[in-house]
Each structure stands twice: as C-alpha cells, then as structure tokens.
C-alpha cells in the first residue's frame, strides 16, 4: 500500500450550509473543492475533521467502527469553533452513502477504509476575524489504507515537553487542524535534537498527550491516563481501549499524572506505555527523553499488555470477536 492516507477514492459526499440551511448531500468528485480566496477557513481557521474506519469482515460485510462517537465529537468541534450546526442524520447519511458506494474497494484486514469527514467555513469575508462564518462545507473523503505497522512494530521515542502545550488549553478537545499545526515545530525540533518520534506535552509537569495521539501508561494491571478535560482530545480509540481494559479486569485510573510519577513508574520492569489513535490503535512506547536523559519504559520493548489490548480491539473491528458494546454499524 501507498503511504497512509495518500490514496483517495475518486468521489466523496458533500453538503453545504447557505442561507441558514443545509443542502442535500451529493456524490461529487474528490479531486478538488472550490473556495473563494477570502474564505473564512483560510484566514481564521474555522475547520474541524474526524477520522474513523470501515472494516471488511470475512462474510464480506462492511462495518463502520463507532461512527456515532465520531459524529458526536464532530458536532462538538463544530460548535466550539462556531461553525454551522448539523444533525447527526446528515453526517451519518453522508458517511454511509459514500462507504456503500465504494464498498468493493474496502481492503481486507489488517487494511481498512479510512474515513475523513471535514467541516470548513466558506464565507468570503476577511473582516470577520471576530465573527463566525455564515456558510460552510461538509464533506467525507475515503482513503483505503493498509496495516499501519507493516510488520515493523518498533517502539516509539517520546520527548517530554514541560514548557509548552500542544494547543490552547480551552481548545484541546476540538479536533481542528490548527491544533496539529501548532505541534509541528516542537515535533520537528525533537526529531532533530534527540531523534524523538513524538513530543509528549506535559505543561507544568502535567502529562497530557502527544501531537497526534493520546498517551497511556500501563503499570502491571493498571492503566493510567489523564482525566477528560478541555485541554486534550477525547480520543475514541482511547475510550475503546479503556473499555476493553475494564472488561479484562484491569484497573483504569483516569486522573492527573505528573512527569515525576511517570518516570518513576516507567522504570519498573513490567511497565509499558502506548499512544492510542485511529490509525495505529495502540503504538508501543519504549523510551522517554527528559532533560537530556533517556529513560526506558519497562524493558524498552513492545509490552505484552499493549499488544493484547490492541489485538482485542482489532478482533472486534475485524469481526473475529463479539461486539459486546455495539460499536459496529453494518452497512
């Protein structure tokens, strides 16, 4: 497969908000969109998106994973960015229609059809820096993707950053492009200076998230991760992994975690750490870098619990285990 997220289906679904109402969704070409150079999104970053997947099961059926949660989060992001509101049924129809249209293109596991709903402000009004857009565009792109790991399950290196944040604290729960852009320079600097894969943002010693994923610490039978607040993204994969962990009898602690406690717990031989997200599900972390020193997490290798949790979630997504929580939507 090509690099993750670089191949797209030739058509997408689109709806527009103008004159206080939404248009009927249409299937349109996905090779271009038309925007005025003065569009609100290009100047004032009125944009949010989602990422979810559709999976092909052995019986040939196509199943969407936790679509309702992604739509709910996109409604939240749109509201917090003052973008026009939309009904759940609108985006649900747009997602299911385009996935059905290209159902034959959905790869078999471990591949999937990655789904990218996007909402952008389109009003041409460069004088509205302090006012919301009156019009917008909602579209759903599809990208067939292969196995994120491609046989290379290497552990990640994280630089702990205590002086900066991924984004403004009140915007962390918004899945907006600006939050990802603001993390790019710290990530690039970390790669160049200490060969880190990602930056784990820990403002004032508070362990939060990396530039593109939630962070989980596993200490024996306990998973520790930051409690939900406005400062970081409420990951759907994070919630899924924590639910599965509880099902397995693990203790899930959603609470504040300091850098000092993280480093102390990570030094234990059976400790593990991982990043959760739609693309990788759970990516193992092997090294933490802090104040110029490197600290291995556990033995520095992929942890057994991390791999067990990832497999358990994949098995549900791929139809190899019971969907006890009603996460799959068959289309």
Residues taking part in catalysis:
175
3 pLDDT tier (thresholds 50, 70, 90): confident
Does pTM surpass 0.85? Answer: yes
Averaged pLDDT, 221-245: 95
- Asked whether 277 and 235 are in contact (CB, 8 A), the reply is yes
Residue 114 DSSP SS3: strand
Higher pLDDT, 146 or 240: 240
CA 20: distance to chain centroid?
30
Question: What phi and psi values does residue 267 have, to the nearest 5 degrees?
Answer: -75, -15
Orientation angle between helical segments 67-80 and 236-247, nearest 10 degrees = 140
Percent of the chain with pLDDT over 90: 91
CB-count exposure of residue 103 (10 Å: 0-12, 13-18, 19+): middle
Q: What span, in angstroms and rounded, lies between the C-alpha atoms of 85 and 130?
A: 18
**pLDDT value at residue 193:** 96
Provide the mean pLDDT of the chain. 95
Question: Residue 204 carries which DSSP code?
Answer: G
- Least confident span in 20-29, 45-54, 153-162, 193-202: 153-162
H/E stretch holding 71 reads helix 67-80
pLDDT, tens digit, 9 for 90 and up, residues 44-84: 999 999 999 999 999 999 999 999 999 999 999 999 999 99
- Asked whether 290 and 25 are in contact (CB, 8 A), the reply is no
Closest CA to 270 of 309, 218, 207, 308: 218
Residues 6 or more apart whose CB falls under 8 angstroms from that of 223 comprise 216, 217, 241, 242, 245, 250, 251, 252, 253
**pLDDT value at residue 279:** 87
Whether 263 has a pLDDT exceeding 70, the answer reads yes
pLDDT, tens digit, 9 for 90 and up, residues 100-129: 999 999 999 999 999 999 999 999 999 999
168 pLDDT tier (thresholds 50, 70, 90): confident
Closest CA to 41 of 125, 121, 141: 121
- Asked whether 25 and 94 are in contact (CB, 8 A), the reply is yes
Whether 186 has a pLDDT exceeding 70, the answer reads yes
């Amino acid at each position: 497969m090509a690099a993750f997220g670089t191949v797209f289906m030739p058509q997408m679904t689109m709806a527009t908000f103008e004159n206080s109402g939404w248009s009927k969704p249409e299937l349109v070409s996905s090779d271009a969109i038309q925007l005025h150079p003065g569009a609100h999104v290009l100047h004032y970053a009125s944009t949010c998106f989602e990422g979810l997947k559709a999976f092909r099961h052995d019986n040939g059926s196509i199943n969407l994973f936790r679509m309702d949660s992604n739509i709910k989060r996109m409604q939240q992001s749109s509201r917090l960015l003052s973008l026009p509101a939309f009904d759940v049924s609108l985006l649900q129809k747009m997602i299911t229609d385009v996935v059905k249209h290209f159902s034959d293109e959905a790869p078999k596991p471990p591949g999937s059809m990655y789904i990218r709903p996007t909402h952008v402000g389109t009003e041409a009004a460069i004088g509205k820096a302090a006012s919301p857009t009156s019009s917008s565009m909602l579209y759903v792109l599809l990208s067939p993707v292969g196995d994120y790991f491609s046989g290379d399950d290497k552990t990640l290196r994280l630089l702990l950053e205590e002086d900066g944040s991924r984004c403004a604290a009140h915007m962390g729960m918004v899945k907006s492009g600006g939050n990802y852009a603001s993390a790019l320079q710290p990530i690039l600097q970390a790669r160049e200076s200490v060969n880190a894969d990602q930056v784990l943002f820990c403002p004032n010693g508070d362990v939060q998230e990396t530039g593109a994923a939630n962070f989980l610490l596993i200490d024996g039978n306990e998973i520790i991760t930051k409690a939900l607040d406005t400062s970081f993204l409420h990951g759907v994969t994070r919630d899924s992994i924590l639910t599965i962990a509880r099902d397995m009898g693990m203790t899930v602690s959603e609470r504040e975690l300091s850098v000092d406690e993280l480093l102390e717990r990570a030094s234990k031989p059976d400790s593990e750490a991982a990043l959760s997200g739609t693309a990788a599900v759970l990516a193992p972390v092997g090294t933490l870098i802090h104040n110029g020193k490197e600290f291995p997490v556990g033995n520095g290798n992929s942890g057994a619990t991390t791999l067990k949790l990832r497999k358990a979630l994949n098995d549900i997504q791929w139809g190899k285990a019971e969907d006890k929580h009603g996460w799959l939507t068959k289309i």
